[in-house]
Amino acid sequence: ALKSRWRVIYEYMNEQDMLEPAESKSCPSFNDSKHNILCSELKQLYVAITRTRQRLWICENTEEYCRPMFDYWKRKCLVQFKELDDSLARAMKVASSPEEWKSRGKKLYYQNNYEMATMCFERAGDSYWEKKSKAAGLRETAHRLHDLNPEDANAVLREAAEIFESIGMAESAAQCFSDLGDYERAGKLYLEKCEETDLKRAGDCFYLAGCHEMAAQVYARGSFFSDCLNICAKGGLFDTG
């Protein structure tokens, strides 16, 4: 039985002189084939411990299973034993600070887990990152929906674009509007809110929107003279050219 196999921990403790003579316990010797399930259990325990951020609470109601492992931890002064009562419940209520929520949110954001990241930023009280994460999540959802339901995808992407624009992320907003085919609005964002290096993209958007004169002016401003002459010829803007 698994409960008896855990007692192999006592053999290790004995080898490490962690047991007093009076504490000598009968225990099985380790065997690869016999204890393969135990090895799997230990790996899962290792993952749970190493992924803990602050405190790890282990609740057990079957003492015969956990006792060998707890005896080992107790001898190493690694654990505290608590009864499940109101005082324990109060101790478990350790509120995370806004900085901790924000840090956790950023980690989730850069892992593209936007929904959970948005919740963390909300808890942190950081409206900028909350909106940024929400917009990024909406944009990802829109791309996922594009082939299945283009109409819904466009509605979601437009919401993302509006949020990006509201928090000053003009380049991201412009790209969303461009993907929506709203080239004139995208061009205006590239022109008014972005860097001089984005003038080429602004001109391209005005060209796609059919705003040939505006496109020509933007190309000329950015010294993209070949594009400027080309759009003047296509738009019949001979005076401008």
Question: Is the predicted pLDDT of residue 2 greater than 60, yes or no?
Answer: no
Nearest to 126 by CA among 103, 108, 107: 103
Residue 141: both structure tokens together: 């959802």
The structural domains of the chain, with segments of one domain joined by +, span 2-92, 98-167
Return the top range by mean pLDDT from 20-24, 146-150, 216-220: 146-150
Q: Which one has a higher pLDDT value, 27 or 116?
A: 116
Question: What's the CA dihedral at 229, 233, 236, 237 to 10 degrees?
Answer: 10
Residue 215: both structure tokens together: 């496109």
- How does pLDDT run across 117-157, given as a tens digit for each residue? 999 999 899 999 999 999 999 999 999 999 889 999 999 99
At 93 the pLDDT is 62
Sign of CA dihedral 122, 123, 125, 129: negative
pLDDT band at 241 (very low <50, low <70, confident <90, very high): very low
pLDDT band at 238 (very low <50, low <70, confident <90, very high): low
Give the integer Cα–Cα distance in Å for 153 and 171.
20
